[in-house]
Every structure is written in structure tokens, then in C-alpha cells.
Structure 1
Amino acid sequence: MPIPQLSLQEIYGDISEQQAKRYATLKESFTQKYGRAPDFFSRAPGRVNIIGEHIDYHGYGVLPMSINQDIVCAVAVNHDKPVLRLANTQSQYKDFICTVDEVAIKGIDWHEYFLCGWKGVVENASLSSPCGMDVMLDGCVPKSSGLSSSSALVCCAAMCTARANQKEYEQVVIADLCAKCEKYIGTMGGGMDQSICFLGEVGKAKQIEFNPLRATTCHLPESISFVISNSLTEINKAAPCSQFNVRVVEGRAAAQILAKNHGLEWRSFKKLKQVQDALGKSFDEMMELVKAELEPGLYTRQQLQEKLEVTDEELLSVMLSPQTQTVQQFNVHNRAMHVFSEAARVHKTSATADASDGEKELGRLMTESHVSCSQLYECSSPELDELTAICRDAGALGSRLTGAGWGGCAVSVVPTEQLASFLDKVRENFYSKDPERMARVETALFATKPGSGAAYLCL
């Protein structure tokens, strides 16, 4: 199915009137900036991952939903001038301009995420003479919060580039393309964020599987609400040698050691799911293998070489990435235990979501997920651990970090009838005790529901 063109009502439902004012303001700002009205609008939503953290890039399915918070781009096509002019409605983000043959991704400024999406489409479609664009971006997905603001920007940029150059993509194709685009900026992620961005539906969560990409609707209990709470601490997951990129390599190391132990052609294994599929074992059986065959604690780089019987140069080529080539220690046991147990939790959630006590089971699994993220994958933070505990004490059935972690947001599942009191308690016990947090509480704490996927706007 191609990317749809939708109305404000179809995308935003009961908040479409509020969004109409936003788009009108964006159109006016664009016209003042560039001296003409935009030709079209593209929007790409952020997402919240209900369960299934840090397992998509190890090959496993996840259970996210898209949200109403989104990135919107107003675009006018420059047919006669091969120049990209990028602007942002938020003044802290500087304008950017370059010709289409000067595009270079050098850092992690906001415009370079746009260039990732642009470059992906230009290369995929073999555009020898891509047209220029005037673009103004307006975003309401909190930056570095775990709600996928960067991926939403990459997806929105790819949509803008495709439409400006009269290229049409199927949703699953451009989702896969955008997942690969982020590697231009140094992020070694999976495809969850981009997939739910394009495949999201109003009122529905999606269980997303990979290789091939496919999405199955997950029916969640009607009696619950999801609440996002931002810890207001941030991580840059694209930074060289970031913990995010190290986790990718640690999972790869676990996969290759397990594959070698079982006589497989281990050099071809990059993901833990590939090993499980090759061995034909259950999640419980894979966790038993991890306990038996991977030592707890840290492996040194030399120990990995000895395990795999390779030189350091070979280790660089078969396991490490440009972003992680200086890493010296790897915790392969705990990372693999998290991945297999978390993948099992995704399957359990999908199987029990519409059961009579599905909301309680969902909450229990979400809390288990956070404990695993904190203790085994070590991607939580003191603020997130504090925040999720406060959320559970305030009445959440379950609460966990969502997104990359090391800061950012938590997601909690709350009985809808208790939503108001829950929000009051979290506001009082986490935000009001810190003036800086309290000053941002209106955008940091909110209930949400599954929203529409990416679309072009007809206004």
C-alpha cells in the first residue's frame, strides 16, 4: 500500500481543529520565509514501544504504536534551482542550505537527519538530478526522549524527497529504506521505529516482525490508557561509540560465539534470532544455552579473539563496526539473556492482550521488561528507575522505559478510570520536587493512544 494522502480529521480525529491552527501557522511561517506557499505537507509520527526493547536489531519482533506527536514538513519544490533550503519553526535550530550535489552528512545536527532521508531516496531511486526543495519543519515529538523523534524526521524527509521527485513508494518499502538511512548518521538500529511510523493505525498497536517486514494488529484491552512520562534526561544514540552501538555489537558477539559452539558457519551470523532459527530452539532453551555457554561478566577483546579463534584484525571485520572499533570489554551473557527473555515477553503480550485479565498481564510483562532493561541490558538510568517506580506506586499496572533508554521516557499502562489521579500523583512525586522538571511538565507527562501512520496532507 502506498503512503496515503489524508485529511486532518482522518489523522488527528478529535484534535483536528487544534491541529488545523498549527498547520495554518506553519503555512504562514513558510510563506513569510520563502515568499510562496508550500506545495504539500508531509507528516510522520513518533512512536511508543509498548514492549520489546532493544531486540529489533537482533532480529526479533516488537510491539509499538504510533502516537499523535509528530514531525510535519511544509514543502515547495524548486524545479529550476537544485538547492535544499531547510528551516525549523523552533528558533534554536538553525537554517541550512546547500546545493543537491553538495549534500554531506558530517554530524548530528537536526538538518542532517533530514539529509539522511533525502540521501536514501536519491540513492535508492538513482536520481541523477534531484530537484531542490524549500522546507520548513515543525515538530512536537520531544527530542532524545525515546519517542523516536529522529526516525520520524528521517521518515518525513524521505517522504518529502519522494513526492518532490514524483517517486511513489509502498509503505513497507520506504520503511525498510528509512531504517537503512539512519546508518548514514552512525545509528546501528533495527527497523521498529520506521516500520510503525509508516504502518501505524488509529486505535491499534502493531506487532512488527522482520525479514520480511510484516505487521499484525494487536487488540489491546479497552479499559486501559497509556501514559508517557519524560525523565527529562537525554542520550545521543548516534554518538561515536555510544552505549547503543556497543549493545548491537555485544548481541552480535553472543550470536557468533553460540553459533561457533554449535558448529555453524558463525561468521555469517549477525543477529541472535538467526542462531535461534538455525538451532530450532525455544526461548527458554536459548536462555539455558546462554547460561551454559556464555560466561557472566565482561569479556575482554582478547577473550573474544580466543573464543572465535581470530586475530584482532579479523574481529574488526566480522564483529565490530566503525563506531565500536575501540571498545575493549563486552557483556555478552547479560545482553543475550535480555534479548531472548524480552522477545518471549512480546509473544506473551500478543497472546494474552485480549484475555479477561489481559491488562494485568500486560502490566506485569511491562514491569519485567523494565527490570531486564535496567539490570541485564543496563540501558536505564537512575531517573528512569525512579520514575517507573513512582508510576507503579501511583497506580500503574506496569511501567517501563521506552526507546533507547539511558534517559528519555517511560510508558505506563493505567486503568482509564484511574487516569486523572495517576497523573496527579506522578506530577506531585516526580515533577513538582524539581523546579526545572515542573516547568516542563505539561509536555513531559501526558496520556496517549495509538495514532495514525505517516501521510501526506490534503488541506
Structure 2
Amino acid sequence: MTSMSDIFTAAYGRTPDGVWSAPGRVNLIGEHTDYNNGYVLPFAIDYRTRVAVARREDRELHLRSTFTDGEVVASLDSLDPASMDGWSAYVLGVAWAAADAGVSLEGAFGLDIVIDSQVPVGAGLSSSAALECAAGVAFNELWDWGLTPLALARLGRVAENSAVGAPTGLLDQAASMLGQEDHVVFLDCLTEDAKPVPLHLREEGLGILVMNSNVNHDHATGGYGDRFRSCEVGAGALGVDSLREIGVDDLDRAATVLDAETLRRVRHVVTENERVLATVETLRKDGPRALGDLLNASQVSMRDDFEITVREIDLACDAAVAAGAIGARMTGGGLGGSAIALVPLSEAEAIAEAVRAVLAEHGLREPTIFPVVPSQGARRDV
């Protein structure tokens, strides 16, 4: 892998002041609960986005990336989310979000920035949060913001919501900022309390396979926003501020108030919150080998109630479990993207081959299947 210092030097003719990186994430369980003030259980993965940065003598931000030609230039004196678009919005949006939150940029100097990413785009592994958080930790150090990792995660979320236009919660950025090796991040999205929970995958001889359907999605448009609005409608009809306030015992009442589609959306969020809490308890008491039923139930709920899976994902999950996976479920926002399978390491390749074979039998595109390892969150690399 080419060093970021070399990439930066090729782009700008000088060495960077530093290199920072942040990981993508996989959500073990807890889908579409974050923007409903619920519970989530993601982990950072060993695929990272890197940013090499050097100080400029003016107040301009110059952005380049290894995945596209050209350069984006913006002034710190005129950052406006309405005028941000494309990949640069994830970086510029973080700087704007900080200023909007009261962080002074008056004395900030300009920056030359080069971006390189290993996180697959459109796979549901939050390449966007990886970019926001890598930029955030770089800005935090270079401009001496003094913000905590969780505060930087919040800025990333604001950037995603306002500059990019995707109505996401805090899940992705929290995982990217707070991840630890062989741990999940148990995040309460109402209180923003985050705790690491050991996974014990290594000692149990287990691993996690990502099964990328190669069906692309875009959270800034389409079905993701529709689900977001359905949850708002459901909460309003039930007289609560968010679906966090609704429990399983309230679903009978909800059935008398909500239309059939909104009821299904609400039921997924409510039961998914319960599954997150049960997963944390199961990890603590019984370990990861006992998670199969919870993972599989989450997949069924996303398929039937929230209706965010695609045929490729459904077949991949069923095939993985049939071939020996402990459990499998869609991960990420859905409507494409990826699923995960919790597998014995000794059977990982056989399970992957079985999934490929089933999708080929149905005439569907070949999935990209690869292992991920729960890893460290955002950091300075050099």
C-alpha cells in the first residue's frame, strides 16, 4: 500500500504535517434504531479512510482524493452546506458543523488535504462516516479544537445530515470514533452514553464475513428517508417524541392507531431495540456463539417489517446459515449494501462458497465476500 506521505507529496510537492485515519463500521445489530433514539451495537472494522494534511498560509481548504481527478477549493470564510456536494461535502461539512456549533475558525489556517480510502463505497460499511471522522480528528489536532471523540462524532453526524442531506443517526460516526479491537460499541442514542462490550471472537474461533451484495444504495435519497418519515409519523400518532418510548407491550395499542405499513415500521424499531439489549446481555453471559437466534430474527424483521432488504441479501443470509453460519443479517441502511455472517473461522471459506453458489443458481450478481475484524477507531497514524 502506497504511503499517504508519498501520495500527498505527489499531489502537492511537499510532505504532509501528518496522516490521520478512521475506520468504516459494521453494525452487529440495531438497525434504524439510532435516529429513533434507540440502542445500537456497531464495531469499527479493519478498512480505513486516510487523510494526509499540511498547513497553508491562507484560509483556503484544497481537497484532492485518490478516487477522482481534480481539486475542490473552499474558503474557511464562506463555508455553506447548501453549496457543498459530492465527496468533498463530507470533509467541508465537518468544518462547517464545528463553526455552526460554536467552535471558532477565526484563527484557523488553510489546509491542503489528500484522501485515500479502503472502505468500499455503497456497501453499507459507512465509508461516509470514515471520511468525516478522519477529517474530524485531523481538524481537531491541527486547529486545536480540544473536542472529545464523541463530540467529533456529533460533528460528523451534523455534516451528514446538513451538508450531505442524509437523515442518519449517530451510529456510524460513534463506531468510527470509539471503536476498540475485539469490541462492539454499545451506544444509547438518547443519552449518547457509549460503552465498549467485549466480543471474544478470537478466543471462540469465530469471525465475521461481510457479504456485499454489490447492489448500491444512496441514503441521501429514496427509501431511507421514507423509513425515517414513517418512524416520525408513528411516534407522532402514538403521542411520543420518539419510538424509544414505545415498548413491545405497546404494540397492541399501536395496532389500533397506526396503518398497516407504519405499524410494521414501528414494530421493527421496537423489537430491534429489544434485540440489541438482549445481544449485550448474551455476550456478557454466554458469549458470541449464542447470538444466532438474535441475528436471524433481526434479519427477518428488516425483511418483513422494515422492508429494507433486497433479494440478494435475503438469499445470502439464508445460504450462510444453511452452510453453518451461527447467524446472518443485513447490516447498514439497507436497500442494497451488505449482510454479515457470524461464522466459525474453520468454515468461513466453505460458507462463502456456498453463498456464491446460491446466488449464482438464482442468476443474481456475484457478491463480494470478505472478513472484517473489530478494530481501533479514529487516530493519528503518522
What TM-score does the superposition give when structure 2 sets the normalisation length?
Answer: 0.92
Amino acid at match of 1:367: N
Matches within 5 A, 1:214-293: 214-221=193-200, 222-239=204-221, 242-259=222-239, 269=241, 271-273=242-244, 275-276=245-246, 283-293=247-257
Residue 55 of structure 2: aligned partner: 77
Residue 350 of structure 1: aligned partner: 280
Alignment partner of 1:393 is 2:322? yes
- RMSD of aligned residue pairs (Cα, Å): 2.1
**What secondary structure, in the 3-state scheme, does the structure 1 residue paired with 2:182 have?**
coil
Q: Deviations over 1:72-130 (max 9, x none)?
A: 0000011x22221111112x354212332343444641111111112112333121353
Q: Is the 8 A contact 2:49 2:131 kept in 1?
A: yes
Q: In 2, Cα distance between the equivalents of 1:123 and 1:407?
A: 33
User: Which of residues 116, 122, 131 in structure 2 aligns to 1:153?
Assistant: 131
User: Which of residues 167, 191, 197 in structure 1 aligns to 2:145?
Assistant: 167
Residue 171 of structure 2: aligned partner: 192
User: Which of residues 188, 202, 208 in structure 1 aligns to 2:187?
Assistant: 208
Q: In 2, Cα distance between the equivalents of 1:363 and 1:94?
A: 47
Q: Is the 8 A contact 2:324 2:351 kept in 1?
A: yes
Residue 270 of structure 2: aligned partner: 340
Cα pair distance change 1:436/1:400, threshold 3 Å = closer
Alignment partner of 1:87 is 2:64? yes
Cα pair distance change 1:159/1:431, threshold 3 Å = farther
Cα pair distance change 1:434/1:455, threshold 3 Å = farther
Q: In 1, Cα distance between the equivalents of 2:297 and 2:364?
A: 31
Cα pair distance change 1:250/1:119, threshold 3 Å = same
Q: Is the 8 A contact 2:209 2:340 kept in 1?
A: yes
User: Which of residues 373, 378, 381 in structure 2 aligns to 1:454?
Assistant: 378
Q: Deviations over 1:262-316 (max 9, x none)?
A: xxxx6xx2x111x33xxxxxx32122322333231xxxxxxxxxxxxxxxxxxxx
Q: Is the 8 A contact 1:205 1:219 kept in 2?
A: yes
Matches within 5 A, 1:111-122: 111-122=88-99
Percent identity of paired positions between Structure 1 and Structure 2: 28
How far apart are residue 354 of structure 1 and its match? 4.2
Q: Is the 8 A contact 1:390 1:426 kept in 2?
A: yes
**What secondary structure, in the 3-state scheme, does the structure 2 residue paired with 1:286 have?**
helix
Alignment partner of 1:57 is 2:35? yes
Residue 27 of structure 1: aligned partner: 5
Amino acid at match of 1:332: T
Q: Is the 8 A contact 1:207 1:215 kept in 2?
A: yes
How far apart are residue 436 of structure 1 and its match? 6.7
How far apart are residue 160 of structure 1 and its match? 2.4
How far apart are residue 258 of structure 1 and its match? 0.9
User: Which of residues 12, 16, 19 in structure 2 aligns to 1:38?
Assistant: 16
How far apart are residue 453 of structure 1 and its match? 0.6
How far apart are residue 198 of structure 1 and its match? 1.0
- Aligned pair count reads 376
How far apart are residue 345 of structure 1 and its match? 0.6
Structure 1 segments of 4+ aligned residues over 6 angstroms from their partners: 431-436
Amino acid at match of 1:58: N
Q: Is the 8 A contact 1:120 1:158 kept in 2?
A: no
Alignment partner of 1:406 is 2:320? no
**What secondary structure, in the 3-state scheme, does the structure 2 residue paired with 1:76 have?**
strand
162-171 or 246-255, which moves further after superposition?
162-171
Residue 112 of structure 2: aligned partner: 134
Q: In 1, Cα distance between the equivalents of 2:9 and 2:363?
A: 40
Cα pair distance change 1:72/1:394, threshold 3 Å = same
Amino acid at match of 2:196: T
**What secondary structure, in the 3-state scheme, does the structure 2 residue paired with 1:43 have?**
strand
Cα pair distance change 1:334/1:45, threshold 3 Å = same
Q: In 2, Cα distance between the equivalents of 1:452 and 1:432?
A: 38
How far apart are residue 162 of structure 1 and its match? 2.3
How far apart are residue 163 of structure 1 and its match? 2.3
Unpaired segments ≥5 residues, structure 1: 1-20, 260-265, 277-282, 297-330
Q: In 2, Cα distance between the equivalents of 1:148 and 1:174?
A: 16
How far apart are residue 394 of structure 1 and its match? 2.4
User: Which of residues 155, 162, 169 in structure 2 aligns to 1:177?
Assistant: 155
**What secondary structure, in the 3-state scheme, does the structure 2 residue paired with 1:207 have?**
strand
Q: Is the 8 A contact 1:122 1:130 kept in 2?
A: no
Q: In 1, Cα distance between the equivalents of 2:84 and 2:54?
A: 26
**What secondary structure, in the 3-state scheme, does the structure 2 residue paired with 1:121 have?**
helix
Q: In 2, Cα distance between the equivalents of 1:449 and 1:71?
A: 16
Q: Is the 8 A contact 2:217 2:336 kept in 1?
A: yes
Amino acid at match of 1:424: E
How far apart are residue 454 of structure 1 and its match? 0.5
Greater C-alpha Rg = 1
Q: In 2, Cα distance between the equivalents of 1:393 and 1:201?
A: 31
Amino acid at match of 1:368: A
Q: Is the 8 A contact 1:384 1:401 kept in 2?
A: yes
Q: In 2, Cα distance between the equivalents of 1:451 and 1:47?
A: 9
User: Which of residues 89, 100, 109 in structure 1 aligns to 2:76?
Assistant: 100
**What secondary structure, in the 3-state scheme, does the structure 2 residue paired with 1:128 have?**
coil
How far apart are residue 132 of structure 1 and its match? 1.1
Cα pair distance change 1:364/1:163, threshold 3 Å = same
Alignment partner of 1:445 is 2:369? yes
